[in-house]
Amino acid sequence: YSWARKLGLVRKPAGFLSSISDDRGEELVYAGMPISQIFSQDLGIGGVVGLLWFRRRLPDYANKFIEMVLMVTADHGPAVSGAHNTIVTARAGKDLISSLCSGPRFGGALDDAAKMFTRAYDSGLTPEEFVEKTRKSGKLISGIGHLVKSLENPDKRVEIVVEFAKKNFDSTSILDYALAVQKVTTRKKSNLILNVDGAVACAFVDLLRGCKLFSKEEADQYVKLGSLNALFVLGRSIGFIGHFLDQKRLGQGLYRHPTDDITYFLHDLPTN
């Protein structure tokens, strides 16, 4: 053996380490569970996300919640910059993946809301103190505020998410905290409600922390790794692909931005 090692024949340590799936056996396995079993137990997309992202079979209500987040984030119309670029690229005749990849996607709002509310809650600030402290530092609270929706005209999506979490989760400490924050902010202005990003983000932290399948450190690590952002990216892919198919179906041609919507600022340059 040492002879073989010297000749460089022995197996080196593997170049890759992978811990979520295995395609080498009789049956494809996601996080230890054979694919046929995933179907027979009817895990759904949420369950598959649970297995491949969190390496475990999450409870059914968690799977359902993941699917709710994907549905909420699936699209936000053709005007936002990500969909816009997808559309422009599709109209340039590029393929689906090139079009999909050309659209910037941001789940930052979710990540930021999760971080702000969790940190405030963990550090023991009262809702009033948190609002005051954020205001003093000149920042807005991510997850608070909506241009149209308000206490009087509530966002049905928020109601659905909150109701679902309250009914199914073991704990909703962060979400409750965020709702208490909403009480403070809406005193100032009625549209400073907990918005859908805020509700989803807080409920998600509650889910990971409360479902008894993760230690607190693990739960927090998954948030830090960007799993909320990942949900947004996956969900919004549905919409971007929709816009790609839509443009192809409508037969829209190459886009060129109208030059009269561009200010060409070159007059400070010497006419060489």
Ligand X SMILES: CC(C)(COP(=O)(O)OP(=O)(O)OC[C@H]1O[C@@H](n2cnc3c(N)ncnc32)[C@H](O)[C@@H]1OP(=O)(O)O)[C@@H](O)C(=O)NCCC(=O)NCCS
Write the binding mask 52 to 71 for a second copy: x where contact by CB under 8 A, - elsewhere: xx-xxx---------xx-xx
Decide: is 185 part of the binding site for ligand X (CB under 6 A): yes
Give the shortest CB-251-to-ligand X separation in angstroms: 19
Decide: is 22 part of the binding site for a second copy (CB under 8 A): yes
Taking Cα atoms as reference points, which of 95, 100, 107 lies closest to residue 83?
100
Decide: is 255 part of the binding site for a second copy (CB under 8 A): yes
Count the residues of the shown chain that bind a second copy, applying the rule CB under 8 A.
120
Closer to ligand X by Cβ: residue 82 or 145: 145
Q: Considering only residues 131-170, where is the footprint of ligand X by CB under 6 A? A: 140-147
Total count of residues recorded for the chain: 272
Q: CB neighbours of 180 closer than 8 A, spacing ≥ 6? A: 127
Decide: is 162 part of the binding site for a second copy (CB under 8 A): no
How far, in Å, CA of 19 to CA of 31, rounded?
Answer: 7
Q: In a 10 Å sphere around its CB, with 0-12 CB exposed, 13-18 middle and 19+ buried, how is residue 28 labelled?
A: middle
Residue 220 near residue 122 (C-beta atoms within 8 A): no
Enter the tokens of residue 97: 């993946």
Give the shortest CB-147-to-ligand X separation in angstroms: 5
Contact region with a second copy (CB under 8 A), list: 126-134, 168-176, 199-207, 224-232: 224-232
How far, in Å, CA of 169 to CA of 149, rounded?
Answer: 26
Judged by the rule CB under 6 A, the positions of this chain that interact with ligand X are: 109, 140-147, 185, 188-189, 191-192, 195, 197
